[in-house]
Structure 1
Amino acid sequence: MEWIETTGKDLDEAKELALEHLGVEESEIEFEVLDEGRSSFLGFGRKSARIRARLRPSFPNPKRERKPRKPRQQSAGTTSSLSPVSNSEASSDKIEKPRAERPRTERPKESKKVESEENAAPRAEREEVSRVELANAAQEFLAGLMHEFGLSGEVTVTHLDDESMELEINGEGLGSLVGPRGSVLTAVQEVTRSVVQTRAGEGAGRVGVDIAGYRQKRREALEKFARDQAAKVRETGEELVFEEMSAPDRKIIHDTVAEIAEVATRSEGDEPHRYVVMFREGPMSQESDDDGATARVDS
């Protein structure tokens, strides 16, 4: 009997698929585990279990080549295998033959590495998950992440439409989820978006995550900083080169300075080491900045 391979979320499911494919009981089949599978946090990045299976081989009583039976003329030297067959042996043969030729439901010999048609239906359904369900999935992920960090708090959806969703975490001692200059928060947001995208495919849209109002406080601080530095540039005429910033932070600087007369900004460098340069402008023209803001630059 040829081996078949099946996969499932765990070993039990993989075995059930093998039994269903072969149409027999578990006692009549033998398995080999190819991959026990593994799970990860909240099922994200889960690896399926994989086995191979076949009907357990049945071995009838060994039979030697026999001459036509002549029971009444059997010689004294004849081996026991040539003796008349007893009723019990005949019964045994009748039992063994059906096992060797056991009828079973034949199915296409497709590789079980590929999902069956029955399992393909849930995938189609996942592609049509509602925006509310996607937001709930993001909430559950963030709640589980907080639990893993040993933190307590509340995750709420602050905005949801067909193109974007915003979530916020509030609680005590959440600094470890923010990190220096929001670096950990940025990573948390990207992973949350990946979780949503896994459920929604290309329809994930924009996913934003904030923690204890950090992003709003960061925006207010950067806007004040930009205005203060713009005043110095306008007074001295000297260019100011800022430290490396993330794209969202650079955009806040560009947008703030765009409203201040006689001062402009531009971005220089390559990611992730891109930074903002602020300068006093002369005769002006408009040019689109790479960070999505319109900045005034020297012509």
Structure 2
Amino acid sequence: MKKVTVSGKTIDEAVELGLQRLGVDKDQVEIQVIEEPQKAFLGLIGGKPAVVEMKVKPEPIKEAILFLRDTIDKMGISASVEKEERHEGIYLNISGVDMGVLIGKRGQTLDSLQYLVNLVANRQSENYLRIHLDAEGYRERRKEALETLAERLSSKAVRTKREVRLEPMNAHERKIIHTALQNVKGVSTYSDGAEPHRRIVVVPK
């Protein structure tokens, strides 16, 4: 974190000098007044300048990306991270070799990384940020696979007239299944069980 201590005849003057040194705007810094200015007695002795300490506020997304890159390096994976802004939030797309290790079984490692990255970003942010992690298009492939699974199991439920219970999934993946089947005639869905073993049940009507 960049920090400077500056002085000036007034607090405003000291702040302006600090902003020039740091090369940032006022809304990008935290300002702490160390000493108030004091006028000299009879204009001759005892005068003191204003002294302020100024710190550049951390940028949440930048901090999150730095954390992610450092974590990937420590995992021994050679990869790059690209930021993409979408209407549903910020996406950090990871590409490189050994992505299977980073994704983990059913995306569990990727989900854990995403959770940690969001913690880092929101520790630095005044407003809640939502950051999504993806690796070599895994999220879209997984979504398509879950939608295909949902279609197949809904057909099975209708054909056998019996409930079909899916494997445990996280909340995001359960939402994909619910959404895929919400307009399918002949079936309904509900979630059953407690985390992390919560699963979807497909029910024939």
TM-score, with structure 2 as normaliser: 0.70
Contact 1:222 1:252 survives alignment (8 Å): yes
The aligned amino acid for 1:247 is: A
Q: 2:198 aligns with which of 256, 270, 274?
A: 274
Matched with 1:176 is 101
Structure 1 runs, 4 residues or longer, greater than 4 Å off: none
Contact 1:135 1:157 in 2 (8 A): no
Corresponding residue of 2:121:
196
Aligned equivalents of 1:265, 1:208: Cα separation in 2: 26
Counterpart among 251, 256, 259 of residue 180 in structure 2: 256
- Residue type at the aligned position of 2:109: V
Deviation at 1:135, TM superposition (A): 2.6
3-state SS of 1:238 partner? coil
SS at match of 1:244: coil
Q: What is the CA distance between 1:148 and its match in structure 2?
A: 1.0
Deviation at 1:118, TM superposition (A): 5.5
Matching of residues 89-238 of structure 1 within 5 Å: 122=55, 126=57, 133-159=59-85, 164-201=89-126, 203-238=127-162
Q: Determine the C-alpha separation between the residues in 2 that align with 1:275 and 1:245.
A: 6
Provide the residue aligned with 1:92 in structure 2: none
Inter-partner Cα distance in structure 2 for 1:213 and 1:160: 15
| 1:14-33 to 2 correspondences below 5 Å | none
Q: 1 or 2 for the larger relative contact order (CA 8 Å, sep ≥6)?
A: 2
Q: Is the 8 A contact 1:165 1:208 kept in 2?
A: yes
Distance between the aligned counterparts of 2:83 and 2:134, measured in 1? 10
Q: State the identity as a percent.
A: 32
Give the greater-gyration-radius structure (CA).
1
Is the contact made by 1:244 and 1:274 (CA closer than 8 Å) also made in structure 2?
A: yes
TM-superposition CA deviations, 1:216-243 (whole Å, max 9, x none): 1110000000001111111121111112
1:169-194 CA distances to partner (integer Å, 9 max, x unpaired)?
01111222111111111110011011
Change beyond 3 A, Cα 1:176–1:118: farther
Shift of 1:273: 1.6
Number of aligned residues:
156
CA contact under 8 A between 1:193 and 1:204: conserved in structure 2?
A: no
Which ranges in structure 2 are unaligned for 5 or more consecutive residues?
Answer: 2-50
* One-letter amino acid of the counterpart of residue 244, structure 1: P
Deviation of residue 136 (structure 1)? 2.5
Residue type of the alignment partner of 1:140: L
RMSD, aligned α-carbons: 2.1
Q: Which residue of 1 aligns with 2:169?
A: 245
